[in-house]
Structures are given as C-alpha cells and as structure tokens.
C-alpha cells in the first residue's frame, strides 16, 4: 500500500518504521536529521500536498490541534492533494471538537477520516504495542485496521469520528491524576521519614497497585525523568479536557488542579521532563 506519514517525532519514527518493515511504500514529510535514516526505505516529499497526491492513506502524528489544521488545510496542505476514496488517519492527540470539523471538511472532498490517538508512549511505539482509540465509520475503521495492527495491540473502535479523541482525553485525565496521586503519596512517605521505595514495594502488593505506581513510582524514587511523555504535552491534553468540560458545562475540579500543578512544573523548568517529574513540583 502507498502510505503517507507526516510527523516523525519520538512516537512517529518507530511507528513509520513498522509500516516500512511490513513492506509498504511510504512517503514522508517533516524529515529532520534524527529521522533521516527513514528516507533510505521511504521517500521524502516537499509538502503535505505532495504526500497526499502520492499516497492512498495519509497518517498524521503531530503535536497539537493547530499543527494538524495547518498540515491538513494550510498552503500545500493534505486537503489540496486528496482525491475521492483516499483515507486520512490522524493519530495525534487533539481536540475532539476540531476533529469533527476537520473530518467534515475532508468528507466534502470524498475522502475518509479516522481519528486514532494512541497511548503507550515511546516504548509502546517501538514495540508496536500501542493502545489505539479509534473514532470512525465502520467502513473507514476496517480500511485502517490492518495498518493500525502494525503499530498497536489494543485497538478499539469507540464510535464515530471524534470519539477516539474523547477517549484519549479521558485517558490523559486518569493517567495524570494517578501520577499526581502517586507523587503526593511518595512525597508524604519521604517527609514522614519512611523509605519511599519500601512504601512503594508494600503498596504494589495491595489495592493501590497500578501500572503507574510500578513504572512512574520507580522513576520518581530514582529521579529518572528522561521522557517518556513530556509534562508540556500532557498539559496540552489536560487543556483539551478542560476545553471539552467548558463546552459541555461539566465540573472537573481535579483535572483543573492537575493543570495548575503542571503549570508549576513547567514554570520550574520541568516541561520537557517525563510526567513522573510532577513530583518535583510538589517540593
């Protein structure tokens, strides 16, 4: 299959590597020095329009909503190179409301649209073990599924376009608040004179056990804060959650508090550290 891939960051590079390894012909945009090696097996093009013209399926893995909008609808954007029957798969984590608007504009061209944000971080991307939350029509989902299976293991169609992004926002609330809970707990343990490592070890055998206590708790104790998933990007996702809450007249007090803790972490110079470094913002 001819696949376009735009967004060769920490997550995008290993994801496109799996597509290349499966034998697909891949057209690339936004190639930087760190992703130059991918050009040996793919082809770098000058702009998103050229990628869309060359490919049958165009996959995006970009940082934020404005990036996706610019790549889709800006000068020489993907939309200008699309034709009837092509498929756009956006694997970025962006606004559910914007996603629905983007999909409607793409549908006017006659192309399909799938929102498929991921969870699992760099490790999941490298191991093709990402959790992928999909919003799409049943037909577009079936078209996308063989490619998604090359990048992830737990792949769920939530519902129509935008529902995948909603699931990702929910994921980020739960992950972020659990990280904050672990950080507060270990901070209390240390201040009380207890060994945080021993406290964590004890809790791993009880009802408080979680993947975040296991992985992020260990990072907090060892102060190994290389990303991972950057606090700056997680704050962006919590911002999306609060935007959705405002639009829907919902009260999400703990998500709002989490955003403030992330604001402090970024003000303290921790924005590009792993989100487990939130513990440093408590001290």
Burial (CB count <10 Å: 0-12, 13-18, 19+), residue 139: exposed
Measure the CA–CA gap between 111 and 10, rounded to whole angstroms: 28
How far is C-alpha 93 from the geometric centre of its chain's CA atoms?
5
DSSP class of residue 225? -
Catalytic hit among 168, 264, 273, 280: 168
H or E segment at 88? strand 87-90
The Cα–Cα gap between 148 and 181 comes to 32
32 part of the active site = no
Tokens of 130: 């990402």
Pairing outcome for strands 2-6 and 25-29? parallel
- Say if residues 265 and 253 touch (Cβ distance below 8 Å): no
138's enclosing H/E stretch is helix 138-148
237 close to 262: Cβ distance less than 8 angstroms: no
Work out whether strand 25-29 and strand 43-44 pair parallel, antiparallel, or are unpaired.
Answer: parallel
Q: Which of 165, 167, 160 is nearest to 96 (CA)?
A: 165
Residues with catalytic roles: 168
């Amino acid at each position: 299959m001819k696949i376009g891939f735009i967004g060769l960051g920490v997550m995008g590079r290993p994801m496109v590597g799996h597509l290349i390894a499966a034998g697909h012909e891949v057209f690339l945009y936004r190639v930087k020095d760190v992703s130059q090696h991918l050009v040996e097996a793919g082809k770098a093009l000058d702009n998103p329009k050229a990628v869309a013209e060359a490919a049958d399926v165009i996959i995006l893995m970009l940082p934020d909503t404005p990036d996706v909008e610019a790549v889709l609808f800006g000068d020489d954007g993907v939309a200008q190179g699309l034709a009837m029957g092509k498929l756009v798969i956006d694997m970025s984590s962006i606004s559910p409301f914007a996603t629905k608007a983007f999909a409607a504009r793409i549908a006017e061209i006659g192309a399909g649209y799938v929102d498929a944000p991921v969870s699992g971080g760099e490790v999941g991307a490298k191991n093709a073990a990402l959790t992928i939350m999909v919003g799409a029509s049943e037909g577009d989902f079936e078209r996308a599924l063989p490619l998604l299976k090359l990048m992830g293991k737990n792949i769920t169609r939530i519902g129509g376009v935008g529902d995948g992004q909603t699931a990702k926002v929910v994921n980020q609330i739960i992950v972020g608040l659990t990280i904050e809970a672990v950080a507060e707990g270990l901070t209390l343990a240390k201040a009380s004179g207890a060994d945080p490592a021993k406290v964590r070890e004890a809790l791993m055998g009880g009802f408080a056990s979680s993947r975040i206590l296991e992985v992020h708790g260990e990072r907090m104790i060892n102060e190994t804060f290389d990303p991972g998933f950057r606090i700056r990007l997680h704050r962006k996702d919590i911002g999306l959650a609060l935007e959705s809450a405002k639009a829907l007249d919902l009260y999400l007090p703990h998500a709002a508090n989490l955003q403030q803790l992330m604001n402090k972490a970024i003000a303290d110079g921790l924005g590009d550290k792993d989100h487990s470094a939130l513990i440093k913002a408590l001290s």
